[in-house]
Structure 1
Amino acid sequence: MQRLIGRRQALAAGALGVGMLAAAAPGRAIGREDVAAPGFQPERGARLRVLRPAKYIDPDEAIFNANTRRFTETTGIEVRVDYVNWPDMPVQLAVGFNTGQGADVAIGFGADPHLYADKLLEVTDLAEYLGAKYGGWYELAEVYGKRRGSRTWLGLPMGGTTGPLVYRRSWIREAGFEHIPNDLGDFLRLCQGLKRIGHPCGFALSHAPGDAPGYANWLLWTHGAALTDEAGRVTLDTPEVLRALDYARAMQETMIAGTMAWNGASNNRAYIAGEIGATQNGVSVYFSLKTSGDAAQLAIAADTEHAEMPHGAASKAPETALTLNAMVPRHTRFPQAAKEYLRFMMEAEQYDPWLTGCLGYWSQPLKAYAESAVWASDPKILTYRGAMDTPFYEGYRGPINAAAGAVAENWVVVDMFARVVTGEQRPADSARAAQRAAQRWYRS
C-alpha cells in the first residue's frame, strides 16, 4: 500500500485523518521548551520515501498520514509513505539495504538497526535532543536504539506494542477466579477452567508476527530462562528451558484448536467472535470492539479487561514490546531531511495525537508521554502505558546484535516450543535442536 503525500495534497487531508487528529489533540503541553532543536537543514529538492509496517487499527495510519501532510505543509518536502504487511517487512528491509535503493526512512522493528548497523547513519544527535526534551528514554528504547555499550544511536524507537492478557471478566469468574493469578500453576488451572466452561484460551506458537514471539518469550522468561547469558552464550539447553517446554505442553491442552496455524489477526478474530476467553494481544482487540458501534461487540468490550501476564520466576512482568524502530540508511540522498522528518513526527504536536488516537496500541518510548491524556481516558488500557519500561527484549539477556535479530527472524525459539506442543519432538530434543540452531547464528 502506498501513499504519496505532497504539497498539492496537504490541504486535502482525508476526513478520517483530520477527524482523528482533531479528536486526539493534546490537552496540555508535554516536554520542555528550553531544549534547542538540532537544526537539521533539509537538502534542496529533497523528496522522501518512508517505509513502515501497515496499520492494525485505522487511526495509526490515518494520523500518521495527517502528521506527514503537516510536515509537507511546513517544509515543502513531498513524502511518500509505503505501508507493508508485517510478515513482509524483513524482506522489504533486506532488499532495500542490500541494493542501496530503498527508503530514505525505514521503520522496522526492534532489533532491525542491529542487523544493518553498517548500512545506517547515526541518529545520536536526534535521539539525545528528544531524550533531553521529553524526559529521557525508557530502558527498552535504549536497548533497541543504541549500539551496545556506547552512546551511539543506530535507530530511533517510535513506539512499542505489548501483549498483556486480554480476557473476558465474566468468564474468568465463571472459571472460578476473581483476578488473573501471578502463579504459573494457578494460571494453568485458570486456563483449564476456561476450557471446562467452553471458553478456552488461545496463544499462538505459529509464525504469527508479534503474537507468537511474545508468547514464546513469556514462556522462557517466566521460568527464569533466556536465549543467551549476558556474554551472549546461547542458553537454550538448560533445566529452566525444559521446565518451560513442559509447561507449554500443558498449556496447549487448554487451548482452542487451530492455534498452530494462526496468523497475526487470528486471535483478534477468535476473541471478537467469542470463541476464546483469553489471549495475549495489543489493544487492537479492545479498540475494535469499543469503536464498532455494534451492540453485541460493545457488550464484549464492556466485559473485556487487560492484565499483566503472570510473572512466574520473573521479578517484573515478563513481556517486551514489539517496537517500531526508525532508521536512516546510508544510501539516502537526503539524510538531513530524513532526520528532520523523524524529529517532526516525534514532537508533541504530532506524536501525542498519534499516541492518543491509537488508544494505547503504540506506547511511548519517551517518558514524558506517560503523562499523555490518553492514559487517563480509559482505565482499561492502563496496562499498556509502561510497555517500553521493561528489561526484557528479543535476545535477552545478551547483546542486541545481528545474531539476536537473526534468531528472532528465523523463529528459533518459537519453533522450539512448537515442536514440543505438537508432539513432534520431546522437550530435551527440541531444546538441543534450538541450541544448535541459535549457536550457528551467534558463531557466524
Structure 2
Amino acid sequence: MTEFTRRTVLGLGGSAIALSALKGGEAWAQAARPIQTVAATMPNLPIESGATLRLIRPTRFVEPDEVIFRENIAKFTQETGVQVRADFVGWEDIRSQTAVTANTGAGPDMVIGWGDDPHVYADKVVELSDIAEYLGTKYGGWMFLADKFGKRARSNNWIGIPMGGSTGPIVYRISAVREAGFTEIPQDHAGFLRLMQALKRINKPGGFALGNAVGDGNGTANWLLWSHGGYMVDEDGKVAVNSRETIASLNYLKELYPTFVDGTLSWLDPSNNRAYASQQTFLTPNGVSLYFALKNDPATRAIAEDTDHAPLPRGVATGTPQSATILNAMVFKHTRFPNAAKRLIAYMMEGEQYDRWLTGCLGYWSHPLRAYSNSAVWDSDPKLAVYRNGMDHPFWSGYKGPITQASGTVASEYIMIQMYASVASGQATPEAAAREAERRIRRYYR
C-alpha cells in the first residue's frame, strides 16, 4: 500500500463521495430531508455599500468541505453582490495568521478558526449575538459545545459562531476486537486495558497519539484526564491539575502505553490515519473521515467493512469524556463591512446551504444547531451514529473553567499532552509530571 498522509486518507473519501454529492447537486438533494425550523426574524443588517470580504479558514481534509463551502459563498455573492475571497490555511498555521490579524488590525475581515480563538481575541472581535439568537431560535437551539464556545465567558454575549466540530471516538477493526475476546469496547478503565493488552498479544495493537497533535494529541490527554474525574482548572479558573485524579490517570497510562503500537510518542494528526489504513494499528480515536476514506477507496474497502466506532471509554466520567475540534467563526473589529460579514455567516448556517455542506462532508463537522440532528446524513450509515451528537459532549477546552485566552494558550502549547508523554516515555514520574504541568499552566491563569 502506498504511504498515507492525513490529507491523502481524507482526500480519498472526499473525492469519491464528491462525485456523487456534487454532480449536478442531485445525489445530495435526493438524500436530503426537510430540516424542521420555526419562524424567526433575521436581524436588520443592511449590507454596506461596496462591501467586499476576505476570510481565512482551516484547509479541507474532506474534499466536499471546500467544494461545497466555495459554492455556498458563490451563491451568497450572486444573491447579494458581495465579493468574498476565501483562503484555506493549514491547520497548524491558522492560529499564527489569526494572531497577526488581531495584533495588526489588518488582513482578513473574518476568521473561521478553532474553538478557543475568539476568546483569545475577545476584545478585538465583533459581537455576534444578533445572528446567534436568530439562528438558535430558527433551528431548535444551539448544542452544548456551540453555546459554550460561542459565548464570551460568564456572559450571554456571542463572540463566535461555531459552525461544526470534528470528534474523535474509538475507530476499531471488528474482527481484531473479536479475536481478542471482546464483543464491544469496554467503557471501564480496567476492561479497556484488558482489551488493549489482548490486542497487543495477538499482534493487532491499538494506539493513541502522544505527540504534539492539534486534535489527536490533545484528545488523548483530555480523555485520560476527564475519564478519571480530573480537570485542569476549577469553575473559578483556579489551577487544579495537580490532583489525585490526574495522578491516577498518569499511572493508568503507564499500564496502557506498553500496549500501543510503536511510535505513538511522535504521532501527529496524520499518523494514526496512516497507521490504521496500513494495518499497523487496529484501534485508535479518530473522526468520521477515516472510515469514509477507507470505504470509498477500492483498495481499502474491506478494511472499512471491518471497521466500526464506539464512544471513548467513560471511566468514572458522567458523560463521554471528549470534546470536539470546533470551527468557530469570528469577525474582527477592523472590518469596514461588519454587516456583510454577519450576513455571510448567517447565510452559511441556513438550511439550504448548511445541510448540503453537512451531508457532503459526511458529517465530518458535526452540526452545532439541534435541527440538523434530523439531517439525512446521520441515517445514511449506522456506523455514523456515534458522531451525531458530537457537539453535545459536556466537556470543553480548559474544563471545568471558563474558556479564555488562558485555556486557548495552554491547548496551543500542548502542556497537557506533554505531561502525559513525559510519563509514557519514562522521563518523569506521575507526581513530577503533574507538578510541572501545574507550574506551566499557572503562567497563564493569574
Q: TM-score, normalised by structure 2?
A: 0.94
Question: 2:33: which partner in 1?
Answer: 28
Aligned-partner Cα distance in 2 for 1:85–1:300: 28
Q: String of CA shifts for 1:374-427, please: whole Å, max 9, x gaps.
A: 011000011000111121000000111111111111111111101111111111
**Letter aligned with residue 258 of structure 2:** E
Aligned-partner Cα distance in 2 for 1:17–1:290: 15
Query: Aligned ranges for residues 216-295 of structure 1 at < 5 Å?
Result: 216-292=221-297, 294=298
**Letter aligned with residue 269 of structure 2:** G
Aligned-partner Cα distance in 1 for 2:317–2:368: 22
1:190 equivalent in alignment to 2:189? no
1:291: how far off? Answer: 1.4
Q: String of CA shifts for 1:158-203, please: whole Å, max 9, x gaps.
A: 0001000000000000011000011111101111111111111111
Aligned match for 2:58, one of 53, 61, 74 = 53
Aligned-partner Cα distance in 1 for 2:307–2:19: 30
Aligned-partner Cα distance in 2 for 1:188–1:272: 23
Question: 1:10: which partner in 2?
Answer: none
1:305 equivalent in alignment to 2:308? yes
Aligned length: 428
**38-47 or 399-408, larger mean C-alpha shift:** 38-47
1:361: how far off? Answer: 0.8
Question: 1:417: which partner in 2?
Answer: 420
Aligned-partner Cα distance in 1 for 2:330–2:235: 26
Segments of 4+ moved more than 6 angstroms: 14-17
**SS of the residue 2:113 aligns to:** strand
Contact 1:48/1:334, CA 8 A, preserved across alignment: yes
Q: String of CA shifts for 1:197-251, please: whole Å, max 9, x gaps.
A: 1111111111111001111100000100000111111111111100101111221
Question: 2:327: which partner in 1?
Answer: 324
Aligned match for 2:407, one of 376, 394, 404 = 404
Contact 1:16/1:62, CA 8 A, preserved across alignment: no
Aligned match for 1:392, one of 395, 398, 406 = 395
Aligned-partner Cα distance in 2 for 1:15–1:170: 31
Q: String of CA shifts for 1:114-144, please: whole Å, max 9, x gaps.
A: 1000000000000000000000001111110
Query: Aligned ranges for residues 43-442 of structure 1 at < 5 Å?
Result: 43-292=48-297, 294=298, 296-442=299-445
Q: String of CA shifts for 1:67-93, please: whole Å, max 9, x gaps.
A: 111111111211111111111111111
Contact 2:116/2:404, CA 8 A, preserved across alignment: yes
Contact 1:20/1:59, CA 8 A, preserved across alignment: no
**347-356 or 192-201, larger mean C-alpha shift:** 192-201
Question: 1:3: which partner in 2?
Answer: none
Aligned-partner Cα distance in 1 for 2:33–2:44: 25
Contact 1:412/1:438, CA 8 A, preserved across alignment: yes
Contact 2:214/2:412, CA 8 A, preserved across alignment: no
Q: String of CA shifts for 1:331-374, please: whole Å, max 9, x gaps.
A: 11111110010011000000001111111111011000000000
1:24: how far off? Answer: 2.3
**Letter aligned with residue 380 of structure 2:** S
Aligned-partner Cα distance in 1 for 2:260–2:170: 14
Contact 2:21/2:27, CA 8 A, preserved across alignment: no
**SS of the residue 1:333 aligns to:** coil
**Letter aligned with residue 390 of structure 1:** H
Aligned-partner Cα distance in 2 for 1:325–1:87: 15
**SS of the residue 1:441 aligns to:** coil
Contact 1:20/1:63, CA 8 A, preserved across alignment: no
Contact 2:367/2:373, CA 8 A, preserved across alignment: yes
Contact 1:168/1:305, CA 8 A, preserved across alignment: yes
Q: 1:46 to 1:18 in 2, by over 3 A?
A: farther
1:271: how far off? Answer: 0.6
**Letter aligned with residue 240 of structure 1:** E
Segments of structure 2 that go 5 or more residues without pairing to the other structure are 1-17
**54-63 or 171-180, larger mean C-alpha shift:** 54-63
Over the aligned positions, Cα root-mean-square deviation in angstroms equals 1.4
Q: 1:21 to 1:184 in 2, by over 3 A?
A: farther
**Letter aligned with residue 353 of structure 1:** R
1:18: how far off? Answer: 4.0
Aligned-partner Cα distance in 1 for 2:445–2:85: 37
Aligned-partner Cα distance in 2 for 1:99–1:260: 37
1:148: how far off? Answer: 2.1
Contact 1:31/1:368, CA 8 A, preserved across alignment: yes
1:102: how far off? Answer: 2.2
**Letter aligned with residue 115 of structure 1:** V
**SS of the residue 1:42 aligns to:** coil
Question: 1:9: which partner in 2?
Answer: none
**SS of the residue 2:397 aligns to:** coil
Contact 2:164/2:365, CA 8 A, preserved across alignment: yes
**171-180 or 70-79, larger mean C-alpha shift:** 70-79
Aligned-partner Cα distance in 2 for 1:301–1:414: 29
Question: 1:11: which partner in 2?
Answer: none
Contact 1:222/1:313, CA 8 A, preserved across alignment: yes
Segments of structure 1 that go 5 or more residues without pairing to the other structure are 1-13
**SS of the residue 1:327 aligns to:** strand
Aligned-partner Cα distance in 1 for 2:83–2:230: 48
